[in-house]
């Protein structure tokens, strides 16, 4: 168990709901769920969830901290907003799902190999490095995420699309070495660091 996680476990002991309310984006809505299940039934990825949203809310109330934070379920959310639109209690379920995923990730207990989590991390690192997405680097990183062989296979499969994009100047092969970021990425890094500090302080995540 990593340090932040231990801290939070100690801090909230049995009260996982409170932990969620205080640390997860829109987490204070969890208590409003009335277990009707319309969100679970509305999710287009529904069949792939181990625990659909309404069940996750119940698990949170039941204090099932590890099961919730380590599940891959909320990483399934594609932000279609069906659940939000239909929820009779107006819970911002999409945001709560992302909030939970993010929280688990911050605690370092999110499923390491979950593709959505890995993609998110790659994307984040890519965009924060220069302030602009380097699409070519992002694509390559994603292709080779599961090893060299897989990467080559995926790249070959996408060859036609890639060439087409280069021809229509949608993709610049030189971006690998010559990516244009924002004017002063250092300032951006400072800014992000500061934002992180503020958030951590607010949520008590600072170590």
Partner 1 sequence: MTDMVATNETILVVGGGISGLTAALEAAECGKDVVLVEKNPSVGGRVSQLYKYFPKLCRPTCGQEINLRRLKANRRIRLLTMAEVTNIKGAPGDYDVSISVRPRYVNENCTACGACSEATSVEIDDPFNYNMKKTKAAYLPYNMAYPQRYVVDPSIIGTEEADKVKAACKYDAIDLDMQDRTMEIKVGAVIWATGWQPYDAAKIQPYGYDRYANVITSVEFERMMDPFGPTGGKLLRPSDGKEVKNVAFIQCAGSRDRNHLTHCSRICCMASLKQSTYIGEQYGDGADAKATIYYIDIRAIDRFEDFYQKVQADEKVHFVKSKVANITEDRDTGDVVLHGVNTEGYHRYDNAHDLCVLAIGMQPSVRADEIAENVAADASGFIQMNGADTAIFGAGCAANALDVNRAVQSATAAALRAIQVVNRVSSAEA
Partner 2 sequence: MSENKTAVYVCKGCGIGDRLDTDQLANIAESEGKCSLVRQHDFLCNADGVNTIRNDIDSEAVTHVVIAACSRRAKTDAFGFDDVAVGRANLREGVIWVRPDSEEARETTQEMADDYVRMACAEIQYMKQPEANQNAGTHKTILVVGGGISGITAAVESSKAGYAALLVEKSGQLGGWAAKLHKRVPNSEPFADPQDTGVHDLIKLVEDDNNITVFLNSTVTRTSGAPGQFSVDISAESGDTVTENVGSIIQASGFSNYDANQLPELGYGKSPDVVDQAQLEELARQAGDGPMTRPSDGKEIESVVFVQCAGQRSEKPGHLPYCSGHCCNTSIKQAMYFKDTNPDVDTMVMFDDLRTPGNGEDFYRSAQRKGVIFTKGKAQQVDAANGQLQVNFRDMILDEDAVANADLVVLATGQVPNSGVDIEATAAADAEDESAESESAAEDTQEVSVSVDSILNLTYRQGVDLPHLRHGFSDSHFICFPYETRRSGIYTCGPVRRPMDIAQTQEDATGAALKAIQAVENAVLGRAAHPRSGDLSFPSFRREGCTQCKRCTVECPFGAIDEDEQRYPVFNESRCRRCGTCMGACPVRVISFENYSVDTVGQQIKNVDMPDEFDEKPRLLVLACENDAYPALDMAAQQGLEYSAFVRIVPVRCLGSVNTIWITDALNSGYDGVMLMGCKKGDDYQCHFVRGSELAHERMSKIDDTLQQLQLEPERVVTHEVEITDIHRVPTLINEYAAKIDEIGMNPFKGF
The DSSP H or E segment spanning 112 is: none
Picked from partner 1, partner 2, none, the partner binding residue 41 (CB below 5 to 8 A depending on kind) is partner 1
Does 89 sit near partner 1 (CB under 8 A)?
Answer: yes
The closest of 104, 105, 103 to 122, measured between CA atoms, is 105
Picked from partner 1, partner 2, none, the partner binding residue 47 (CB below 5 to 8 A depending on kind) is partner 1
Do the beta carbons of residue 37 and residue 54 sit within 8 Å?
yes
Phi/psi at 71 (5° precision): -75, 155
Residue from 17, 20, 97, 100 in contact with partner 2 (CB under 8 A) = 17
Do the beta carbons of residue 29 and residue 91 sit within 8 Å?
yes
Picked from partner 2, partner 1, none, the partner binding residue 61 (CB below 5 to 8 A depending on kind) is partner 2
Does 141 sit near partner 2 (CB under 8 A)?
Answer: no
Picked from partner 1, partner 2, none, the partner binding residue 203 (CB below 5 to 8 A depending on kind) is none
Contact letters (x/-) for partner 2, 59-98, by CB under 8 A?
Answer: x-xx--------------------------x---------
80 DSSP assignment: -
Q: How many Cβ atoms are within 10 Å of 195's Cβ, its own excluded? A: 10
């Amino acid at each position: 168990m990593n340090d932040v996680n231990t801290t939070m476990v100690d801090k909230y002991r049995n009260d996982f709901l409170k932990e969620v309310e205080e640390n997860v984006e829109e987490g204070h809505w969890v208590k409003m769920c009335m277990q009707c299940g319309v969100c679970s039934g509305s999710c287009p990825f529904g069949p792939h969830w181990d625990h659909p949203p309404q069940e996750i809310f119940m698990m949170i109330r039941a204090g099932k901290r590890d099961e919730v934070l380590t599940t891959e379920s909320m990483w399934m959310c594609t932000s279609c907003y069906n659940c939000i639109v239909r929820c009779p209690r107006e819970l911002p379920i999409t945001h709560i799902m992302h909030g939970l995923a993010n929280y688990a990730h911050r605690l370092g207990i999110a499923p390491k190999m979950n593709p959505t989590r890995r993609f998110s991390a790659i994307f984040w690192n890519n965009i924060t490095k220069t302030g602009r997405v380097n699409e070519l680097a992002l694509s390559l990183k994603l292709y080779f995420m599961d090893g060299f062989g897989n990467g080559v296979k995926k790249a070959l499969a996408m060859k036609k699309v890639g060439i087409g994009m280069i021809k229509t100047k949608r993709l610049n092969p030189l971006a690998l070495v010559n990516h244009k970021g924002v004017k002063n990425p250092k300032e951006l890094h400072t800014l992000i660091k500061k934002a992180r500090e503020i958030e951590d302080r607010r949520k008590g995540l600072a170590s």
